[in-house]
């Protein structure tokens, strides 16, 4: 069975840590954050005006992995808005993947590593939707 695991949550919740733990160096983990992370230094430099490119890059990486029939694919992004999830649902349907959506909560009181203010995180939380049915 081929699985796409979408890991969502607010900044600092531990999405990337969970994705890496679950992938166990056996399966790929894709993220919008990787677009803004320097591959040499590992430094993160977010540029809002390039955010749309980061979304497309992440989707393309997932599509490429699906095209190669990778059996398990992880994506860790905030996914606070429904439209952010939709492309992955479409890809999963197109390539025959089951989708599992995992929500991570920051119950360990961690700080996000990207310098996002608490005010901005609260704004994101207000938009965050959980689908019940």
What's the half-sphere exposure (Cβ side, CA atoms, 13 Å) at 109?
0
* Residue 71 CB neighbour total at 10 angstroms: 11
d(CA 10, CA 39): 24
Helix, strand, coil shares of the chain as percentages rounded to 5? Answer: 45, 15, 40
pLDDT at residue 127, rounded to an integer: 85
Q: What is the pLDDT of residues 24-79, one digit of tens each?
A: 999 999 999 999 999 899 888 888 899 999 999 999 999 999 999 999 999 999 99
Domain boundaries, the chain: 3-127
d(CA 50, CA 132): 32
The token pair that represents 125 in the structure block? 């939380």
Q: What is the pLDDT of residues 98-121, one digit of tens each?
A: 999 999 998 877 877 777 888 888
Does the domain at residues 3-127 carry the CATH identifier 3.40.50.300?
yes
Tell me 51's DSSP state: H
């Amino acid at each position: 069975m081929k699985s796409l695991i979408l890991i969502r949550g607010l900044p600092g919740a531990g999405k990337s840590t969970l994705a890496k733990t679950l992938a166990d160096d056996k399966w790929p983990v894709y993220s919008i954050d990787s677009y803004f992370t320097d591959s040499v230094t590992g430094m993160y430099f977010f540029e809002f005006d390039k955010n749309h490119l980061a979304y497309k890059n992440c989707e393309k990486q997932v599509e490429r992995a699906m095209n190669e029939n990778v059996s398990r694919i992880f994506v860790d992004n905030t996914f606070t808005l429904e439209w952010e999830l939709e492309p992955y649902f479409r890809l999963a349907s197109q390539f025959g993947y089951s989708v599992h959506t995992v929500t991570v909560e920051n119950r360990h009181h961690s700080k996000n590593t990207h310098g996002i203010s608490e005010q901005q995180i609260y704004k994101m939380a207000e938009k965050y939707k959980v689908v019940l049915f």
